[in-house]
A and B are shown apart, each in its own frame.
Chain A
Amino acid sequence: MSQLSTTTQGVADWEKMAGASSQSKRREFPKFLIGGVLLLVAVGYLIISGTMGGARYFMTVDELVSDPQYVGQKVRITGAVVGESIVYDSENLIIQFTIANVEDNPSDLALALHNAVSDPTIARLPVYIEGEVKPDLLQHEAQAILSGELRADGTFYATELLLKCPSRYEESVPAQVQAEPGI
């Protein structure tokens, strides 16, 4: 019963408000406007300051190595992992390996990665990461995407490591099928 009476009370209140002169609407409108503008400014500020702080240039090994202005700057780079260079100190969780330059947006990533690690004339960069367990995907010819900075000693000190094996989802011609057709 008590609930019912509050409801009718509420309806009565509402009707009073709805029937109120347009004066009250006019009084409320600037509040909405000011509130809205303040919120927009706040969100805009959040996004812009976040972008300033979090932005990383994404570049290839070539671009990073060839321009000294990037030394000490936080950047993101991509490269092909050279398998035999991987050294993992599991006691201290230090991973070191070398990546080779891969062009931006190659049409066949698997092939580009393969070519990059096979050609010793292509620019290479040693990488050092501390505090990470060696990821399962860190393998020969994987694509590494690293965040961190190139220091004066010529090594890239990474804080974030992302790996991709492009052929994972791709079908390629079954080589053995080709080797022994029709058997």
Chain B
Amino acid sequence: MLAEIGLVAGFLSFLAALYAVAASVYGERFARSEAWVISGRNAVYVTFVLITIATVALQVALMTEQYQIAYVWSVSSPDMPDLFRMTALWGSQAGSLLFWSFLISGFAAGATLANWNAYRRLMPYAIAYMMASVAFFIGLVVFIENPFTSWWILPDGEVVQTALMPAGAVAPSASRLAETANGLNPLLRHFGMAIHPPMLYLGFVGFVIPFAFAMAALASGDLSTNWIKVSRRWALAAWLFLSLGLLLGGRWAYDVLGWGGYWGWDPVENAAFLPWLVGTAYLHSVMIQEKRGMLKTWNMFLVIATFSAVIFATFATRSGLVDSVHSFARSGIGVPMFAFWFGLTFISAWLILWRRSRGELRDEHRFTSIFSREALFVLNNFVFVSLFIAIFWGSFGAPIISELFMNTNITLGADYFLQVTPPLFVLLYILMGVAPVSAWGIASLARMGTALLIPLALSAVSLALFIFSGVTNPVALFGYAIVLMSGWVAVVETVRGAIARRRAHQESILTALWALSTRNPRRYGGYLVHLGIAIIGLGVIGSTLYQVETQQTLAVGESMSIGDYDLRYDRLLSNQIADDGRVMDIAELTVLRNGAEIAHIRPRQDFFPEARDMNTMTIAGAHSTIENDLYVLLVNWDEISANRATFKVYINPLINLIWWGGLILIAGTLLAAYPRETLPVRVRQALRLAPQPA
């Protein structure tokens, strides 16, 4: 029953999405008919309702264990806890595409609902672009990767997987299906995996909104900053989700993959990072258009590049284009996805060139000074785009071009990225330190210098702390100095604003801070994000340059030492069975520092008796402090006596700053998206002073 509901709702939502595109374009462009346009708008909502029904149907099928549905059979099994039954919705290709379609359709419906009245002129075209994307993804679900196909036994005994029941076929027995069901890949049974994909998908699909409104601006001819105003919060939300998705992915890798790291320059990781890079460039450069009416074409280009990178990342991940730990199995969606990506990029580029050739994207100001804020923002954009190009080239460009034109296959490993990206990141951090104290339009080096004095002094003091703690490598110190500087600038600028306000308004410093952040959430939210990024930077430098690793075999009662820590092996608990059926071998260790016991950690190995293929998992035990992580892997142990065990131990300095910086980044982005009072102070005061009507 659920399979039929899903099939029908999915198919109807596909038709509704196509109708929304057709009715909007026909009504606005050709018939000039309000009725058609409104009908197209309503189809947006209908599409969302229908795809929601399909998604709920699959989720219910997973929760109620309908193993006849092949998708449910392949990603869940009777012994799985409910949490992973829920997350199994995106545990494999077909389900995750359905979930993705649901999200993108939800974004489209939300943006339509929120902006219909205020931006009536842009809406029909925005709907057309959004719904074309929605229709494409629903089409993939319905026609190529349908999660609602079921197992059938044909009269001749052959077992097949089809959407509709073949003539004379019978359903396999429920108990047999339940016994043979696959279960979710053990690697994906982790809290991080429960939220990493949805966050990443939300980040990806969210960028459809700025993209659609940019295209709507080009198509409708409303080339004011309306499209930017409409899409700013959507872009921020998408950026936030994407950042979170990347951070959670790193956290998952760190917890589950057991190699002591969080970022491996794997092509699929890079693919998700690419839209983040151009998206971040976009969030900065739209400010120039809003304040100075410049870079109109460039902003269009960036927003298109961002969504194009999203589609490319999806294509690269899901089509099996690159070899990676993440990649889905080779799949039939490669060609349609590539065609969609190519078509979308081509049409967008053509629209920009067309409007440009008509002189409608001319900038209102020109660059006057190298140290003006707009020039620094352009430099910021240049670096982001350079990073984009370098990472794209390393992950996809070089392998694809060498295969197409040189008849060999050349790949670039992690050492390429470690050589090319650090100088660019350094440049970004320098800009992050300098740009906030620059001014629009003019260059005032003296003023910038003065504003940088206090952050410089604070950076010198905090750098001294690093030197005191034993950092002597000049490269590391240089990195720390740049990053500290960028963080302190954000802090000092905020505090300076608060102090000035306190003087003017006789408020306490906290009230002043609060008032500042609510009056100008964009600026102070932005500074908070900068601070978060700086803190992440410290964590990355520390954990990359100063990771210590060792490995040793211990008998029960023996200790080993690493860094300031001693690690004592207490005992092994073997064959512990968890609720979900996994069999765990757990080593218990005591962490000592200066002779005092400070923690107990339990690295373990899990064995999944029912899983096929991949059935063991090494889970690290970690003792986390702000200073570092002591990260221990149980490598091997003596099966019979359980007396001796081998451990691989890492010390990852400052790694927790990455996660803490991430939290600050979230807070900052939320603040930046906070609705602010739109009337200028003078007007508000005048309103307050005006005589009240009797």
Contacts and interface: CB of A to CB of B under 8 A. Distances in A.
A58 B568 CA distance: 44
Interface in B601-631: 612-614, 616-618
B575 interface: no
A117 to B, nearest CB: 14
Interface stretch (A24-32, A120-128, A149-157): A24-32
B390 interface: yes
A25 B366 contact: yes
A174 B77 CA distance: 13
Given A18-B368, A28-B369, A177 B176 contact: yes
Contacts of A18: 365, 368, 441
Contact of B159 (A1, A59, A181): A181
Interface string A160-183: 101111111111011111101111
Interface in A1-41: 1-3, 10, 13-14, 17-18, 20, 24-25, 28, 31-32, 35-36, 39
Interface string B438-450: 0111101000000
A35 B399 CA distance: 31
A93 B367 contact: no
B329 to A, nearest CB: 4
Contact of B173 (A46, A168, A183): A183
Interface stretch (B136-144, B177-185, B238-246, B305-313): B177-185
A165 B614 contact: yes
Contacts of B365: 18
B323 A145 contact: yes
Interface in A43-65: 43, 46-47, 49-51, 53-59
Given A47-B389, A164-B327, A17 B612 contact: no
Contacts of B394: 50-51, 54
Interface stretch (B109-117, B281-289, B406-414): B406-414
B390 A56 contact: no
B256 to A, nearest CB: 9
Interface string B160-187: 0100000000101100110110000101
Interface residues of B, number: 81
A139 B399 CA distance: 27
A31 B416 contact: no
Given A54-B412, A133-B258, A183-B176, A169 B613 contact: no
B18 to A, nearest CB: 29
A58 B329 contact: no
A35 B173 contact: no
Contacts of B399: 58
B648 interface: yes
Contacts of A181: 153, 157, 159, 170, 172
Contacts of B375: 32
B613 A182 contact: no
Contact of B330 (A56, A107, A137): A107
Contact of B648 (A3, A57, A133, A137): A133
A91 to B, nearest CB: 5
A43 B422 CA distance: 12
Nearest to B161: A171
A84 to B, nearest CB: 17
A182 B412 contact: no
B370 A93 contact: no
Contacts of A91: 553, 646
Nearest to A134: B635
B410 A57 contact: yes
Given A50-B420, A53-B415, A93-B551, A182 B172 contact: yes
A168 B186 CA distance: 10
Contact of B151 (A39, A58, A147, A177): A177
A114 to B, nearest CB: 12
Contacts of B266: 162
A164 to B, nearest CB: 7
B361 to A, nearest CB: 20
Interface string B66-104: 000011011000000000000000001100000000000
B64 interface: no
Given A165-B613, A167-B612, A181-B159, A90 B411 contact: no
Nearest to A109: B330
B177 A104 contact: no
Contact of B368 (A25, A51, A135): A25
A136 B618 contact: yes
B287 to A, nearest CB: 16
Given A18-B368, A54-B413, A56-B410, A164 B323 contact: yes
B424 interface: yes
Nearest to B423: A46
A3 B500 contact: yes
A54 B153 contact: no
A50 B416 contact: yes
Contacts of A51: 393-394, 398, 412, 416
Contact of A55 (B259, B412, B617): B412
A107 B331 CA distance: 10
B368 A47 contact: no
A128 to B, nearest CB: 17
A175 B370 CA distance: 69
B403 to A, nearest CB: 9
A133 B549 CA distance: 12
B636 interface: yes
B413 A90 contact: no
A155 B500 CA distance: 70
Contacts of B612: 167
26 contacts: A10-B439, A17-B442, A25-B366, A36-B382, A39-B382, A47-B420, A51-B412, A54-B412, A54-B416, A55-B410, A55-B412, A58-B409, A76-B413, A78-B323, A88-B636, A90-B553, A109-B330, A133-B648, A136-B617, A164-B327, A168-B185, A173-B161, A174-B180, A177-B151, A181-B170, A182-B153
A-B CB proximity, top 8 nearest: A54-B416, A90-B636, A58-B409, A50-B420, A171-B74, A14-B441, A181-B153, A170-B329
Interface of B: 70-71, 73-74, 92-93, 151, 153, 157-159, 161, 170, 172-173, 176-177, 179-180, 185, 187, 258-259, 266, 323-325, 327-330, 365-370, 375, 379, 382, 386, 389-390, 393-394, 398-399, 408-417, 419-420, 423-424, 439-442, 444, 500, 504, 551, 553, 612-614, 616-618, 633, 635-636, 646, 648
Given A58-B409, A59-B408, A136-B614, 20 more contacts: A13-B442, A18-B368, A32-B367, A32-B375, A35-B370, A43-B389, A43-B390, A49-B419, A50-B417, A50-B419, A51-B393, A53-B416, A54-B413, A57-B408, A88-B636, A137-B614, A164-B325, A167-B329, A168-B329, A174-B177
